[in-house]
Amino acid sequence: MIKHIAVALDGSAHACAAEQLAIALADLVHGMVHGIHVVDATFLEGAFITDISGAMGFEPFLNLQSQMRVTLDEVADVIRRDFTEHCAASGVEGRFHLERAGVAHGILAASKLADLLVVGQRGVNARFHEDLLGATTETLLRRSQIPVLIVPRQGAMPKRPLVAYDGSPKAVRALQQAAQLARALDLSLTVVTVDPTEEHARARLAEAASYLEPYDARVEYQAESGEAIEERLLALLGEGRHDLVFLGAHGHGRIVELVLGSTSQFLARRSSVPVWCVTRV
């Protein structure tokens, strides 16, 4: 079961929702939260400073770099203080990690000993690309060695979790992690498979039931017909429906993903509820 929960913090509304969910989850599983903030090294690199300085009409590096560093450090201090206060108010042990690197690299480095990485669906520039998954979040989804929980702006503690099962090794790990969380939170779990062939769907659900039997969890099984897997799953999520979905990330072949994307990316972009992605077997 998860004990070390890492959460990426950048001051955005989505990151705040991710932090709240990470702290609440840590409280229920008696775990620890690791708040991670990255001072983006690209803001202090020569090319960026030179471009800005040239546009403003003065020599680069005279004052701008030091001023930028001070400003970024002040932002980091505010994020650290707020995180520490929120953990203390919830009675959860929290540790703050400050990294100076590229954002994705810094988050991955600081979360390497965690069991779960919680991130906001979008970052500080969400207002400029409301329909897109944040660039950092998308990178983490592809590169993280641990499960990634992607949280929308209104993320909350789950009451009706759902597992999307397609028979892949990552989907099996999703079953495992969902069953463990459902047991820890005393929740019922729904396992869904989407397939145009009823016989295949039934066989897949029977396989899931066999795997989950030793976990002694309360489980319901549901078959959805059709080939538009992403749309069928999305229709099961939201207010009055399921409020957390587990699934294996990158279920397609790698070449297909590069062209079409994956079910996990589709749901991570569009879901109004948290999406728990199993990134490695």
Task: Report yes or no: 249 and 139 within 8 Å, Cβ to Cβ.
Answer: no
d(CA 276, CA 149) in angstroms, rounded, equals: 4
Residues with Cβ within 8 Å of 273's Cβ and at least 6 positions away in sequence, in order, are 152, 155, 158, 237, 238, 242, 243, 244, 245
Number of domains in the chain: 2
- Tens of pLDDT, residue by residue over 59-104, are 554 555 677 788 888 999 999 999 999 999 999 999 999 999 999 9
Residues 38 and 71 in one domain: yes
Query: Can you give the CATH number for the domain in which 237 is found?
Result: 3.40.50.620
Nearest to 56 by CA among 41, 40, 68: 68
Query: Tokens 């990151």 appear where?
Result: 15
Summary mean pLDDT of the chain: 86
Last residue of a domain, one of 129, 151, 173: 151
Residues 49 and 80 in one domain: yes
Nearest to 5 by CA among 14, 17, 19: 19
Last residue of a domain, one of 151, 169, 196: 151
d(CA 61, CA 222) in angstroms, rounded, equals: 61
- Domain boundaries, position 41: 4-151
Residues 34 and 139 in one domain: yes
Task: Report yes or no: 114 and 34 within 8 Å, Cβ to Cβ.
Answer: yes
Last residue of a domain, one of 132, 151, 170: 151
Position 263 confidence tier, pLDDT thresholds 50, 70, 90: confident
Residues 177 and 110 in one domain: no
d(CA 236, CA 240) in angstroms, rounded, equals: 9
Residues 127 and 252 in one domain: no
**What pLDDT shows up at residue 69?**
81
Give the E-state strand segments of the chain in sequence order. Answer: 4-8, 32-40, 93-101, 116-120, 148-151, 161-164, 189-194, 219-224, 244-248, 275-278
